[in-house]
Structure formats: structure tokens, C-alpha cells
Amino acid sequence: MHTTRFPGESAEYRAARDELLRAEVDLRRRTEDVARMRRALPLGGRVPEDYVFEALDGKARRLSELFEPGKNSLVVYSYMFGPSQKSPCPMCTSILDALDGEAPHITQRVNFAVVAKSPPARIREVANGRGWRNLQLLSSANNSYNTDYHAEDESGDQLPVLNVFVKRDDGIYHTFATELLFLPSDPGQDGRHADAIWPLWNVFDYTPEGRGEKWNPKLAY
């Protein structure tokens, strides 16, 4: 498939690697196909209200105010950190550790926010402890955003959903959510549904050990 070779590789290795390379090309094409399908989705439902969130500085921020001029898409990640939780979800926290570094790049093109049900003071304490500097963190403690957009179930448990909204002349519409979360998991797989924004597992996937079956990220090591 190409002439590049690495020191000491065998013919057996090259044959297996080329087979994998063909699969990688197919996966990339399929990934791009899925992305095109996602971009081609018709508008979802119009947002029922202009939700009022509370920023970490205590100021109110409406959903409509999260759209900066010239940026018509808004990505909202729901952080599993409710008022009754002693600590936030370690997996969500791992995602946000990475996205804090990426946020300045992300916001060059789209709007991005992280919403948690806990009060601002609790969110601020976590953010300071993690050293987060770039994430736009908001509290949904006093609105129905979490329940409306399926980041909280009927018992009050928090769910890690990523939602995307778009702004049009006649209002704000929902356009996408990571709905794999709501499907039964395939045999041998868990419910991870936001891998595309989570570098951790993708790095492990390059190694012979892979993701493993029992290891999960922690808040501290």
C-alpha cells in the first residue's frame, strides 16, 4: 500500500499492518460519512424557553446570550455533578480536563459551554482544584434544562449528554444529542457515547493493552 518501512519489521507484520491499514481507511471514510449525515440533519425542536443559567461569577446568562456574533452553533456538555453528589463524575472530569485545553481552539468556530446542576460555588471549587482556565462553566440549578434535554433522569441522577443547538432568525433550535447513551449497549461494550471528544480512550486504542475492561479514570492518583 506504501513503501514506508520501520526497523526490523517482518513480512508477517507488514501483511497484518496493511490489512489493518485498509480497515483504518474504511473507518475514516465511514466516520466522515456519519459526520456528513449529522450535518445534514433537519432542525430539531425549537428550544422551549430562553434558559437562565448562573455563571461562576454569579451573573445570569441566558441561553441566547451564549451565542457570540457570527457563531450560530452552540455545543453544551452536561457535567454529571448534581447538588447531592459528594464529588463530580470522574469520567466527565477526565473529558473536561482535556476540553479545557481545547476550548480556546473550539471557540474560534463555535460556542461552547459546560452545564452542571450544582450551585456555582461547588462548580467553582472543582474548577479551581482542576486548574481549569478556559471552560465556560454554568449552573442549571434553577432551571429545567437538565430534565428537558435528558441530562437528568426522573430520580434526579445526572447524565452526561452532549447537546448541540443552532441559532436561526426565528429562534434557537436543538439539532443533535449523543443519543447512543439511550440505547442498549452492544455485547461487550459499555455505554460510552462521547468518545469523539474524549482523547483518553483513543490514545489507549493505539496500544496493545487497549482500553482494558476494569480501568476507569479517577479524580486523583
Considering only residues 201 and 79, tell me which one the structure prediction assigns the higher pLDDT.
79
Q: What is the mean pLDDT of residues 157-163?
A: 96
**Sign of the C-alpha dihedral, residues 157, 176, 137, 100?**
positive
Which pLDDT score is estimated for 44? 98
For 69-107, write each residue's pLDDT tens digit: 999 999 999 999 999 999 999 999 999 999 999 999 999
Q: Which residues pair with 53 in a beta bridge?
A: 61
Q: Please state, for a pLDDT cut of 90, what percent of the chain lies above it.
A: 89
Distance, CA of 67 to chain centre: 18
> Looking at the predicted structure, is the pLDDT value of residue 183 above 90?
no
Over residues 162-166, the mean pLDDT reads 98
The total of structural domains in the chain comes to: 1
Higher pLDDT, 190 or 50: 50
Q: Is the pLDDT of residue 186 over 90?
A: no
Rounded mean pLDDT of the chain?
Answer: 95
Confidence of residue 108 (pLDDT cuts 50, 70, 90): very high
pLDDT of residue 190: 65
Of the two residues 88 and 195, the one the predictor is more confident about is 88
In a domain, 104, yes or no: yes
pTM: 0.94
51-57 mean pLDDT: 97
The answer to whether 87 and 213 have CB atoms below 8 angstroms apart is: no
Structural domain harbouring 153 = 52-179
Note the pLDDT of residue 211: 86
Q: Which helix (H) or strand (E) holds 168?
A: strand 162-168
% of the chain at pLDDT higher than 70: 98
CB atoms closer than 10 angstroms to residue 22: 11
Q: Is the dihedral of CA 202, 72, 120, 58 positive or negative?
A: positive
Residue 30 lies in a domain: no
- Output the pLDDT for position 71: 98
- pLDDT of the residue at 191: 63
Q: What's 60's domain CATH number?
A: 3.40.30.10
Residue 120 pLDDT greater than 90, yes or no = yes
Q: Which residues of 38-68 are buried (b: 16+ CB within 10 A; e: fewer)?
A: eeeeeeeeebeeebebbbbeeeebebeebbe
Given a cut of 90, whether residue 188 has pLDDT beyond it is no
- Contacts by residues 194-203 (CB-CB < 8 Å, ≥ 24 positions apart): 194/77, 194/95, 194/160, 194/162, 197/77, 197/95, 197/98, 197/99, 197/162, 198/94, 198/95, 198/98, 199/98, 200/94, 200/95, 200/98
pLDDT at 194 over 90: no
pLDDT tens digits, residue range 204-213?
A: 999 999 988 8
Is there a contact between 116 and 123 (Cβ–Cβ < 8 Å)?
yes
CA 61-141-116 angle, 5° bins:
80
Euclidean distance between CA atoms 115 and 53, whole angstroms: 8
Within-domain flag for 191: no
Examine residue 118 and state whether it is found in any structural domain, yes or no.
Answer: yes
Q: What is the CA radius of gyration of the chain?
A: 20
Per-residue pLDDT at 148 exceeds 70: yes
